[in-house]
Structure 1
C-alpha cells in the first residue's frame, strides 16, 4: 500500500471542490448528466491529442492517441457516473491523458446507462468492446482495462466474466475510486460523508436502485465485485482519495485481491476526492496519479 502525499497543493483541490459545489446539487437524471458533463469538461483535451469516433456492433466509442504512443497497445476505459451518468465528454480529459501516461492508444465506450437500461446491459456493452478490440487484432496481453467509480466496477466485472468463460484476461487492471459494494456496507460511507463533496449514501441508493433490477441481490458478485472470487485476476492498481466516502470500497477490494493471491497496488492519496484525476489539467495530484498509473502499466506491457 502506498500513501502518496508529496508536493500536495491544497489550493488546487479546494478549487475543484468549489467547482463541484458552486451550484445546487442537480435533481433528476437529465440534470445530473448535464452537470457531470459540465464539470468534467471544464478543461478541454490537450491540443496534441487526436480523437476519433468509432461505432461497432451498435456501440459508440472514441479512440484517442497522444504523440509517440503505441497504437497496438490499448487502454479500454469505462467512465464513472454511478451507471446512470457520465459520458465520453465528461471523462475525455482523464482518459486521453491516461493514454499519454501509459504510452498507448485508448478506447472509451459510451455504454448504456440506467435507469433506461438496467443491469446487465452495461456488462454486455463491455464485452462487446472487448470483442471488438480482439477482432481488431489487439491481443489481450496488450490491453489494459480500467475505469473510475462505476467504471471500476464494470472493469472488475468484465474480468470476472472473461475468467468464467475461460478466456484470456487483460494484462492488468486500473481502478480509480472504484464503487465495489452496492450493498453500501463500507464504514467510510459514514465517516467520510461530511468531507466528500460528491458521494453520499442517499445518492448511491438512488443509483443502485436505478441500476439493479428487482429481485437481484446487491451482494451478487456481478453487482458488487467486492464479494467476487478474484483468484486468477491480473495485476491491479487501485487509486483512491482519503477524502472520499468510497475509500473503504477500495481498501476492502485490495484486501480481497491480496487474499486471492492477486498482485495488487493500493494508493491512497491524501485530501483527494472522488475520481480526482478527472480534473488533472488543473490538479497536479491528478497528473501525478496518472503518471503513477502509467508507471504501473509499463511494468506489465
Structure 2
C-alpha cells in the first residue's frame, strides 16, 4: 500500500486547487446578494476531510484564472511531477497529426515480441492545463499491475487549440498505437481508452470518434470522473454542496469556454465537442464511469451512464459517497483504494474478454 506524507498531500492538493481557483473572469457577485454558503466540508467523507481542508486553503491563495494568469499556473504545475519507476520503461515519440503539428506520446511498458493489451490515455487538466508527463509515474504503476502497454498523448491545450485540434491529437495517438502494435507488443484487438477529468471527456470523445470513423477497434472506455457536459455550472445549476472542492462551476465555465471557443451552455454549442450532447451513443465500447458523490460532474456522469445503458452499452457506474473531484490522487484512503481497484478490475475484465493471455510472438 502506498502511503502519502502530509507534504505529498499538499502538493497534490495544489494541483486540484488550480481548478478550485478558476473563477469566471467576468463574474462579480455582491456578498450581500448571495445566500449563506454551505460548509464545503459537511458532505466530505471523514477520511478525506484533511485533504479537502488543504485543497480549500490552497485554493484561497491562488489568483483568479484568466488568459493572463494561465501561463504561470501551467508553469507552477511542474513542481508536482513525481519520479518515474526505474523498472518500467518509458519512451517518448513524436507522431504525425493530419493537417497539424506532430504531437508527443509517451509509451509506457512496451515490450516488443509480446502480445499484450494496451490503453490509450488522455490526461486531465480542465482542457486548459496539465501534460502527459505528469501522469507517467501513475501510468507506470497501472501498466505494471495490469501487464499492459499504455500510450499517453500530450494533446494540445485550450484556449490555444479548441476541441477540433485536441480531438485529432488523441485520435492520431490511437491510430499510431494500432498501426505500430507489433513493434510495441500490443494486441490490436485489445485496446482500451482511459482518462481522468478532462481526459475522461477526451476519452469519451475518442470512443465516439473511433466508432464513427471505423478505423480502430476499441474494446473499453474507462472514464474517471469525466468532464462530459458544458452545461454543468453554466445553463444548468448544481446543488450547493456539489462541486465545492477540487473543481468548481466557475472553473468549469472557464475550461469549457476555452475548449469550445465560445460560451458554454448555449443552444449553438457543437455536439462534436461535448460527449453529453452526442445524440446517438449506441455502438460504443463498454464503459466504466467512476465519480464522487460531491464531485461537480456527478450528475452528468450518472446521466451519461444511464444513456449508455439505454443505448445498449454495457456500463459500470461507481459513485463514491463523500468523495470530491480528484480525491483518489490526494489521500491514501480506503475509498481511493477501493475506487482504483474497481477501475483496474474493470480493465482486467475488458482485456480478458478475448480469452487471451500475454504471449510471445
TM > 0.5: yes
Larger radius of gyration: 2
Paired residue for 1:51, among 83, 87, 90?
Answer: 90
* 1:176 correspondence with 2:227: no
Equivalent residue, structure 2, for 1:60: 104
Equivalent residue, structure 2, for 1:124: 168
Unaligned stretches of 5+ residues in structure 2: 1-43, 97-101, 352-361
Equivalent residue, structure 2, for 1:261: 312
Paired residue for 2:191, among 122, 143, 159?
Answer: 143
Query: Residues 150-169 of structure 1 correspond to what in structure 2 (within 5 A)?
Result: 150-169=198-217
- Change in 2 beyond 3 A, CA 1:59/1:219: same
Query: Residues 279-294 of structure 1 correspond to what in structure 2 (within 5 A)?
Result: 279=330, 282-294=332-344
**CA apart distance, 1:195:** 6.0
**CA apart distance, 1:152:** 1.1
In 2: Cα distance, 1:269 partner to 1:231 partner: 27
* 1:235 correspondence with 2:286: yes
Where 1:206 maps in the other structure, the secondary structure is: helix
Where 1:90 maps in the other structure, the secondary structure is: helix
Equivalent residue, structure 1, for 2:28: none
In 1: Cα distance, 2:89 partner to 2:191 partner: 19
Unaligned stretches of 5+ residues in structure 1: 1-7
- Change in 2 beyond 3 A, CA 1:36/1:75: same
- Change in 2 beyond 3 A, CA 1:188/1:245: farther
Paired residue for 1:79, among 120, 123, 127?
Answer: 123
Where 1:120 maps in the other structure, the secondary structure is: helix
**CA apart distance, 1:168:** 4.0
CA offsets 1:42-75 (integer angstroms, 9 cap, x no match): x5444543322222222112122299xx763211
Paired residue for 1:224, among 266, 274, 277?
Answer: 274
Query: TM-score of the superposition, structure 1-length normalised?
Result: 0.84
Q: Is the deviation greater in 28-37 or in 254-263?
A: 28-37
In 2: Cα distance, 1:30 partner to 1:38 partner: 14
